[in-house]
Amino acid sequence: MAGKGRNCVPRALRQKVRAGLWQETISRFGENSMAMVGFYVIAAVAIVAIFAPLISFHDPYEINLRQRLLLPSGAHILGTDAFGRDMLSRIIYGARISLLVGLIPSFISIGIGSAVGVTSGYLGGKIDFILMRVADIVIAFPSLLLAMVIMYTLGAGLSNIFIALSFVGWAEAARVVRSQVLSLREQGFVEAAKAMGVRRRAIMARHIFPNCLPSLVVLFTLKVPEFILAEASLSFLGVGAQPPVPSWGLLVSQGKEFIFSAPWVVAFPGGAIFLVALAFNFVGDGLREALDPYLKR
């Protein structure tokens, strides 16, 4: 069979092509100035989050009732909140929460989603039918409401947010991966691998999943801001992170009563959410454009 011969060469060749793919993508990504700005913002926020204790001058939890709702000044660059806590330090520590809550559920939901999607798309039949109906059900829910219900059941708190968001997010990833797998399954190299007697699981892991990666990378970068916003919303509504944790959504929520007298206690943490979400969206869009030739197959 012609396909068989073709398959013998490509193993090495395909690897090369794939290396080329990422190199090319990175160089195209680099030409996109908005995406690069987004990337630098994320990098800066990540550094700030990692080195929070070194960077912040104040203890984010230190209450000082004599210094309530201070205007931004030299001592408190972004002012203080209703308990006299330093806003900048709280936002810096909050960056840790936002990044974690963006990244971890994205990883988990895309991990679960890929496993489900590859299985479903490759095996087809009853398993596919059942898995996709379950995904339909999860997708049918308004995502914030579903997350709220899960938080109600599990109780407020950071780790439960991870669970809630992962549960909300896996279904979409599963659908994306499944549709990719369906088109990949028909392609020559998969057919060839099958003809050569490669095991099903190996085909899924080595031949099909890697080709889904470009879409998954894009999906990941777009899921992160979505989850950051979702956590902020949950915390804002009081079912997410609990005081005194300096989650950005919670900071806005706690500040909203003082918006007239001290608008900065709302403006700064909300602005931080906006900035990070914007940066991730720019990067996601940039990646999507850079990967465009590999996404449309």
Partner 1 sequence: MATVPVLIGVSILIFVMLNIIPGDPVAVMMKERISPDVVEKVKAQMGLDDPLIVRYFRFIGGALRGDFGMSYKLNRPVSRLIMQAFPNTLALALAAALVSWLIGIPAGVLSALKPNTIIDRAFMGFSVAGISMPIFWSALLMQYLFALKLGWLPVSGFYGAKYLLMPAVALGWSAAGTIARLSRSSLLDVMQKDYIRTARAKGLSEVRVVVYHALKNALLPVVTVMAIQVASFLSGAVITESVFGIPGLGRLAVDAIRTRDMPLLEGSVLFATFLVVMGNAMADILYSTLDPRIRYGR
Residues that bind partner 1 (CB under 8 A): 133-134, 136-138, 140-146, 148-153, 225, 229, 232-233, 236-239, 249, 252-253, 256, 259-260, 263, 266-267, 270-271, 273-274, 277-278, 280-282, 285
CB of 147 to partner 1, least distance (A): 10
Do 240 and 151 form a contact (C-beta atoms < 8 A)?
A: yes
Nearer to partner 1, 8 or 145 (CB): 145
Q: Which is nearer to partner 1, 138 or 213 (CB)?
A: 138
d(CA 182, CA 122): 7
* The token pair that represents 97 in the structure block: 């929460």
Amino acid at 276: V
The residue among 149, 144, 152 whose CA lies nearest residue 169 is: 144
Question: Smallest distance from the beta carbon of 282 to partner 1, in angstroms?
Answer: 7
Q: Shortest distance, CB of residue 76 to partner 1, whole angstroms? A: 21
Cα 21 from Cα 214, distance rounded (Å) = 9
Q: Which is nearer to partner 1, 203 or 272 (CB)?
A: 272
DSSP code of 256?
A: G
- Residue 100: other Cβ atoms inside 10 A: 17
13 versus 137: smaller Cβ distance to partner 1: 137
Min separation Cβ 154 and partner 1, Å: 9
Distance CA 57, CA 180 (A): 49
Q: Which is nearer to partner 1, 151 or 219 (CB)?
A: 151
Give the whole-angstrom CA distance, residue 39 versus residue 235. Answer: 26
Least distance (Å) from partner 1 to the CB of residue 217?
18
